[in-house]
Amino acid sequence: MRVILLGFGSRPDVLEEAQRLRPLIEQHAEIVGFDLSGTEDMSAADADLAIVLGGDGSILRAAHQMGHRQVPVIAVNLGKLGFLADISPAELLDVLRDFHNGGLPVVEHLMFECRVSRDGGTAFRQIGLNEVAVQQGQPFRIMDVDLYVDSELVTTYSCDGLIVSTPVGSTGHGLSAGGPILRKDLQAFVVSPISPHTLTNRPVVDSADRTYEMVVADPGAETCVVVDGRVLCSLRPGDRVQVRRAREQFKLVAAPGHSYYRTLREKLGWGGRLKLGDNQ
């Protein structure tokens, strides 16, 4: 079995775990790619599996590194939250053996392609896993964002920004903006405004088979497009930010005992009961 080992080595715990785990992994697989910078292109790596060390940020970097050739991922959590990276280092070798023996399912998750159209052409293009956000910079003021779905004008948001997220991304920035949580294997996008200037605004959930476009008629000097937490480009008047389903899908190895709702309970502190005192 050929694997690539990825992580973000600027964190000391990632570097230490990579050094500790590498000889153990090599007892079961051949490591054909290794990168702890989060920047090396892994799309040409001839691998059966990626092992990613870190938190969800490391997972997003790894998805970008694999680009148009996504291989199944075993995500080892060394971070704080870890919605995607939820396997502990102690579980890694058992999960690796079970995957090699065909005993673990691989769950495919929606990815998107973001294009910024400018002057009749494509100025920027990026695939991603979590979300696309159009955000305001200095001078800080409310901006108007036109939302189009399949070329039809839906509405104009007056807000600090607008997020289009996948189900995987629905527990990220979109959740902080008041958006809903979508089960990770749904085929849908969520549109969530950031600090909308109205009391009647609500997030929208729609099919992943539609094309979403965001247009800012009067962008500020630092208004930008952010893909999975990283700035893709600054916006100019007339730019159109298009989000649509990508051909690629993110593939996550599902380890036993790590169910979706268990992750929500444990990571978000999500509970349905009030805990009352003994005398109440």
Distance set, CA 127 to CA 110, 226, 280 (Å): 11, 12, 53
State the CB neighbour count (10 A cutoff) for residue 88: 14
Are 18 and 118 found together in one domain?
no
In a domain, 274, yes or no: no
Distance CA 99, CA 247 (A): 24
Q: What is the span of the domain harbouring residue 243?
A: 110-248
Are 142 and 82 found together in one domain?
no
Are 162 and 69 found together in one domain?
no
Distance CA 204, CA 139 (A): 28
The length of the chain in residues reads 280
Are 96 and 83 found together in one domain?
yes
Q: What φ, ψ does residue 168 adopt, rounded to 5°? A: -60, -40
In a domain, 275, yes or no: no
| pLDDT for residue 84 | 80
Q: How many domains does the chain have?
A: 2
Are 140 and 216 found together in one domain?
yes
Task: Kindly give the residue spans of alpha helices, DSSP state H, lying in 90-189.
Answer: 92-100, 173-176
Are 146 and 181 found together in one domain?
yes
- Distance between first and last Cα of the chain: 58
CATH number of the structural domain spanning residue 80:
3.40.50.10330
| pLDDT for residue 280 | 45
In a domain, 154, yes or no: yes
In a domain, 70, yes or no: yes
Per-residue H/E/C for 53-112: EECHHHHHHHHHHHCCCCCCEEEEECCCCCCCCCECHHHHHHHHHHHHCCCCCEEEEEEE
In a domain, 158, yes or no: yes
- 3-class secondary-structure state, position 273: coil
**Tokens linked to 130:** 């979590």
Cβ partners under 8 Å of residue 253, min gap 6: 49, 72, 73, 74, 75, 95, 99, 104, 105, 106
Are 15 and 141 found together in one domain?
no
Are 53 and 130 found together in one domain?
no
**Which is the catalytic residue, given 35, 56, 86, 228?**
56
In a domain, 261, yes or no: yes
| pLDDT for residue 273 | 59
| pLDDT for residue 60 | 93
Are 16 and 117 found together in one domain?
no
pLDDT tens, N- to C-terminus, the chain (280 residues): 999 999 987 777 899 999 999 999 999 999 999 999 989 999 999 999 999 999 888 999 999 999 999 999 999 988 766 678 788 899 999 999 999 998 899 999 999 999 999 999 999 999 999 999 999 877 778 899 999 999 999 999 999 999 999 999 998 899 889 999 999 889 999 999 999 988 888 899 999 999 999 999 999 889 999 999 999 999 999 999 999 999 999 999 988 777 777 777 776 766 655 455 544 4
Are 41 and 163 found together in one domain?
no
**Tokens linked to 135:** 């955000």
Q: Which residue has the tokens 């910024």?
A: 116
Q: Is 146 considered catalytic here?
A: no
Are 122 and 240 found together in one domain?
yes
Are 211 and 263 found together in one domain?
no
Cβ partners under 8 Å of residue 7, min gap 6: 14, 15, 17, 18, 36, 38, 52, 53, 54, 58, 78
| pLDDT for residue 41 | 95
Q: Are 230 and 217 in contact (CB under 8 A)?
A: no
In a domain, 209, yes or no: yes
- For β-strands 131-135 and 224-227, DSSP reports them as antiparallel
**Separate counts of helices (H) and strands (E) for the chain:** 5, 16
Is this model's pTM higher than 0.75 or not? yes
Q: Are 113 and 168 in contact (CB under 8 A)?
A: no
| pLDDT for residue 277 | 53
Distance set, CA 177 to CA 80, 128, 196 (Å): 20, 19, 9
State the CB neighbour count (10 A cutoff) for residue 248: 19
Distance CA 104, CA 128 (A): 25
CATH number of the structural domain spanning residue 224:
2.60.200.30
Distance CA 110, CA 168 (A): 8
| pLDDT for residue 262 | 75
